[in-house]
Amino acid sequence: MTGPAAPPAPRGIVVVTGTGTGVGKTVVTAALAAIAQARGARVAVVKPAQTGVRTGVPGGDTPDVDTVRRLAGIIDTHELARFPDPLSPEAAARTAGLPPPDMGAAADYVRKLAESRDLVLVEGAGGLLVRYDPEGTTIADLAVELGAPAVVVAAAGLGTLNHTALTCEALAARGIISKGVVIGSWPRQPGLAELANLTDLAVVAGEPIAGLLPEGSGMLGRTEFLAIALAGLGPRLGGEAARAGAPA
């Protein structure tokens, strides 16, 4: 007797953005990539601009695309620009005396990749409206240019309701389709605020939470990470969570 068919993984181009920095965008990107690849999709991951990583410095921060490779086993990763200081891409480029990211070229690059991949995941830097160049181009502008939907990664605790509401409003104002809000790091011992936010984030987003990933997921091995991704993300994102957003 066969069980229910697995939900399809997202296809096309999907932008992964967040309500701010440090909310778990890279781990969620890896989870989406791992699920899609496990179901036979050809997956590429693009980071238009990486900041806060100094090339050739032992013990420095790990580039986000390297984390995706380790967790998801995706080798088709593309970092288009890198700047050493942990600032917005525009500020990091300015501080380093380097040209800012070319977001028009980034859009062309992503479109070219999408011609031969089933899924291209584009991970932004920081929050949705972080500046990439002196003209004020953002990852939201890139999503509009690509006609791509967005996954919003949010924090679990206090302050997340306001940040998530502002992010969702900014998406809607630009006509960007939301594929859902994911809590990027669910604490092992959630408090009252976190538990209340499971309900309130759904109200803010106007739809059920699309999933959550447990704290520490980014430290797992590849096989265990895939299992966590499938269990933590809801069917809309290709996962198998019976009720996305419900703590285990």
Q: How far apart are CA 78 and CA 140, in angstroms?
A: 19
CATH superfamily of 12-237: P-loop containing nucleotide triphosphate hydrolases (3.40.50.300)
pTM for the complete prediction?
A: 0.93
> Among this protein's residues, is 47 annotated catalytic?
yes
Predicted confidence (pLDDT) at residue 59 exceeds the cutoff of 70: no
Instruction: State both tokens at 217.
Output: 């997921």
Domain boundaries, the chain: 12-237
Give the pLDDT band of residue 1 (cuts 50, 70, 90). Answer: very low
Catalytic residue among 25, 47, 112, 179: 47
Average confidence score pLDDT of the chain: 92
The DSSP symbol for 218 reads G
Q: Pick the residue with more confidence: 247 or 210?
A: 210
Backbone torsion region of residue 9, taken as left when φ is above 0, otherwise alpha when ψ lies between -120 and 50, otherwise beta: beta
Give the pLDDT band of residue 243 (cuts 50, 70, 90). Answer: low
Q: What are the tens digits of pLDDT across the range 14-24?
A: 999 999 999 99
How big is the CA angle at 9 (ends 3 and 15), to the nearest 5 degrees? 160
Q: What are the tens digits of pLDDT across the range 181-212?
A: 999 999 999 999 999 999 999 999 998 999 99
The pLDDT of residue 2 is 47
Rounded to the nearest 10 degrees, the angle between the axes of helix 160-173 and helix 192-205 is 10
Q: How far apart are CA 130 and CA 126, in angstroms?
A: 6
Predicted confidence (pLDDT) at residue 69 exceeds the cutoff of 80: yes
Predicted confidence (pLDDT) at residue 240 exceeds the cutoff of 70: yes
What is the average per-residue pLDDT within 117-136? 96
Q: Are 186 and 194 in contact (CB under 8 A)?
A: yes
Predicted confidence (pLDDT) at residue 173 exceeds the cutoff of 90: yes
The pLDDT of residue 42 is 96
Instruction: State both tokens at 245.
Output: 């957003």
The pLDDT of residue 248 is 46
Q: Pick the residue with more confidence: 125 or 1?
A: 125
Q: What are the tens digits of pLDDT across the range 136-156?
A: 999 999 999 999 999 999 999
Predicted confidence (pLDDT) at residue 247 exceeds the cutoff of 60: no
Q: 102-118 as b/e, with b when 16 or more CB fall inside 10 Å?
A: bbeebbebbeebbeebb
Q: Which residues pair with 182 in a beta bridge?
A: 153, 211
